[in-house]
A and B are shown apart, each in its own frame.
Chain A
Amino acid sequence: MNVSRTLSLAAALATGLTGAAWAEKEYEGVELKMLAIGDTSVTRLAPIVDEFTELTGAKVQIDMFPYPGLIDKIVIEASANNPSYQLMWVDSPWVGVLGESGALEDLTDLVKRDAEEIHLDDIIPIQLQENTWQGRLLAFPASGMIWHINYRKDLFEHPEEQAAFNKRYGYDLAPAKTWDQFIDIAEFFTRKAGETLAGEVLAKDFYGNAQAYSRVAGAITHDFFPIMRSFGGQYWDPQTGLCAIDREPGLKAAEVMKELAAYNPPDYLGLMWDIRTGYMERGEVAQSGYWSVRTVRLTNPDEAVLPTIGEAGYAPSPTGDGNPADTMTGALSFAINSKASDREKEAAWEFIKWGTSRDMMRRFANEGSGVSQFHKSILSDSELQKKYPYYQVLLETQERAQRRIFHPFYADVEEVFGVELNKYMAGETESAQEALTKGCTKVNTRLKVFPEEMRLRWINDVPAEIFD
């Protein structure tokens, strides 16, 4: 037995995987290929797929492609018989498009069959619901995201800053519960070079907030929609299935973002996902909201400067009235090509179970991976919570999280509203109402091609049977 094999088996034993119900090399001869991206949910798994081969006999090859264009490649791949790829990496908003095209295998029965093995009751339900389409579970979470707030805890807890904040706003400095408070905090901490922050003279400008306002890849919508949803907004009119983003909650959300713009770095109109989070990772802003997939970096001095200059705090995303409201969630998931053969499908399901298992997720957590956890037992583990204090926030917020947009026209919505919101923030559009109305008009023009019955079916979020 060579060294690598010994190590592989030792690793498998360490994660308790040998306890799984695989017959010896049951899938010998099966070759699986996965169409994926270079996401942490994949990159951590790719180097250890030989462990799966050791256990089951099935060979797995993971091909990584760019995020832009991947959904088109999946659709094309799923259009051919005898497909090249049996496994697919799926971003949860794609389930609408892929569900309608019949590209993905329904996993509902497999999940029900193996509920005990996959610890179904330990998985946060919304992470499964994220992957459902019309009552069918089309993908299985490999990284379960939640939208939340990161902030400079060291600044929030600084006595001088606390006193100054209270004096100015009349209430205590603490992570914002409402968007009004969020704006106050952003305003309070926005300071010019030469001013004092937490007793130190600033060498360069400091910003109260960092959010994505870029239209590229609809980045601004990722920040806009959580705010809209927190005001009780919906994407679609339940009577017509048409765009409802231009209503009161949407307008409030746009106004919040417009007001926050003044407290963002000057390049805010071009800020995308990780460029924005970079500001927090360098400790150059007081607070910032983002998906939980990058939060782990705030705990690692090798990936972010913040751990060396201050301490990060984590909080749920604010809401319109301060009362708990639904937070945005998302899932990066694995799926099976519906055109794969039955044997390939079975092997692919085994791989999904192995790669997303609770033991594997715990292993990733111990390694410090950016995979965002979705098992209750992991997020509530006291040892892990000490290492990753944000786990507690993820656990609490997911209790009442609401899924992201899952409509077949989700890409159109991101694209159209990405442009219209960005134009409003840049001052090219006069009012929020005008921007959102324009966006809805464009989306509706495309939607009205389809009968109302179909549009209503698309917005009907039927729970999969696994939730019974």
Chain B
Amino acid sequence: MNKPSTQQTILIYIALTIVLIVFMTPIYLIASSSVKPSPIMFQKPPAFLFSPTFEHYKDLFGMRPFGKFILNSLIVALGSTAFSLTIGSLAAYAISRIRHKRMNDVAFWILSMRMFPPIAVVVPYYIIFKTAGLLDTPLALIIVYSTANIPLTVWLMKGFFDEVPTALEEAAAVDGYGLIETFLRVTLPLAAPGLAVSAVFCFIFSWNEFLFALMLTGSEAQTATVAVMSFWSSDAVQWGRIMAGSFIILIPGVIFVLTCQRWLVRGLTMGSVK
């Protein structure tokens, strides 16, 4: 491949800069608004130079137990991710390996679980969890999010398992591995990029979800997304506090994605394409 010319390099950098600006502007607005004094929050033209204030962060943690809400979000997101990966991987492996004429229908049926509109099941979920005494607990949200995450995991992981040659499993069987050992020690490690991709999708969905978190929680299991939006009241939208909360909410997601990044690039380019 020829080395790009100086002009091409400049153009590439210009294009990259534009893309970077487009993607980073919302992050900049969130970050700057989170430290911008309220009276100049919507000043026109926008105030780029100002004395930053940490009042919004102080209010965020002072007026509500925001640390607890972040912890709730982490418990729910990590719990749902772990549960979905465990169940989803096993189901995907079965669908990938079992040869049966109706297996595609089973796979589609699992995917269809993700198709119904969330609003349609809010009330049934509410009644079920109320009856079971699980309302306003992280477990309720873990269960609900897993119903959406498991189908996604199944479909993502099925593609990765299809890519793993069965000859390797047969070799493992010859070496004396049972089905579970073969899965855990041979197939699953080879599909690790798929796990990373699935984990990222499951985590982000669970971390960002709002509707179920609003309807199924109270103060005990309230998640950060709902807590941040609770600064939207009837007489005002307290943008400073919302921005401060939003900035904090961004951090765990970024850390999680960066942690998985090692496997992510490879995972996004394989598995779904044969």
Contacts and interface: CB of A to CB of B under 8 A. Distances in A.
Interface stretch (A76-84, A107-115, A227-235, A416-424): A76-84
Contacts of A76: 122-123, 126, 215
B15 to A, nearest CB: 30
Contacts of A43: 63
B185 interface: no
A266 B211 CA distance: 34
B218 A274 contact: no
A61 B220 CA distance: 11
Interface string A201-214: 00010000000000
Given A63-B218, A65-B226, A76-B215, A275 B42 contact: yes
Interface in A71-109: 72-73, 76, 79-80, 82, 84-85, 91
B42 A278 contact: yes
Interface string A175-199: 0000000000000000000000000
Given A33-B218, A76-B215, A66 B230 contact: yes
Contacts of B18: none
The listed residue with most A CB atoms (<10 A of its CB), out of B40, B127, B230, is B230
A8 interface: no
B64 A73 contact: no
Contact of B230 (A37, A303, A305, A332): A37
Contacts of A304: 39
B235 A370 contact: yes
Nearest to A65: B230
Contacts of A277: 236
B150 interface: no
Interface residues of B, number: 34
B216 to A, nearest CB: 9
B214 interface: yes
B43 A282 contact: yes
Contact of A72 (B42, B215, B235): B215
A121 B45 CA distance: 49
Contacts of A39: 233-235
A64 B41 CA distance: 24
Contacts of A303: 38-39
Contact of A84 (B42, B136, B226): B136
A91 B235 CA distance: 11
A40 interface: yes
A16 interface: no
B80 interface: no
A122 interface: no
Given A73-B214, A80-B130, A304-B39, A37 B234 contact: yes
A295 B273 CA distance: 60
B217 to A, nearest CB: 9
Contacts of B246: none
Interface residues of A, number: 43
Which one of B127, B130, B234 has the highest number of Cβ atoms from chain A below 10 Å of its Cβ? B234
B237 interface: yes
A37 B123 contact: no
A84 B54 CA distance: 35
B110 interface: no
B44 A67 contact: no
Contact of A294 (B42, B45, B231, B236): B236
Contacts of A204: 44-45
Contacts of A91: 234
B222 interface: yes
Nearest to A207: B44
B44 A273 contact: no
Interface string B232-249: 111111100000000000
Interface string A119-132: 00000000000000
B230 A84 contact: no
B219 interface: yes
B231 A273 contact: no
Contacts of B126: 76, 79-80
B237 A272 contact: yes
Interface of B: 38-45, 63-64, 122-123, 126-127, 130, 135-136, 211, 214-215, 218-219, 222, 226, 229-238
A-B pairs with lowest CB-CB distance, top 7: A66-B229, A293-B235, A274-B236, A39-B233, A63-B219, A64-B230, A305-B39
Interface of A: 33, 37-40, 43, 61, 63-69, 72-73, 76, 79-80, 82, 84-85, 91, 204, 265-267, 272-275, 277-278, 281-282, 291, 293-294, 303-305, 332, 370
Given A43-B63, A63-B219, 17 more contacts: A37-B233, A38-B230, A38-B231, A40-B235, A66-B232, A67-B232, A68-B232, A72-B215, A73-B214, A76-B122, A76-B215, A80-B127, A80-B130, A266-B44, A291-B235, A293-B234, A293-B235
15 contacts: A33-B218, A38-B233, A39-B233, A39-B235, A65-B229, A66-B232, A67-B233, A69-B214, A76-B122, A79-B127, A204-B45, A267-B44, A274-B237, A293-B234, A332-B234
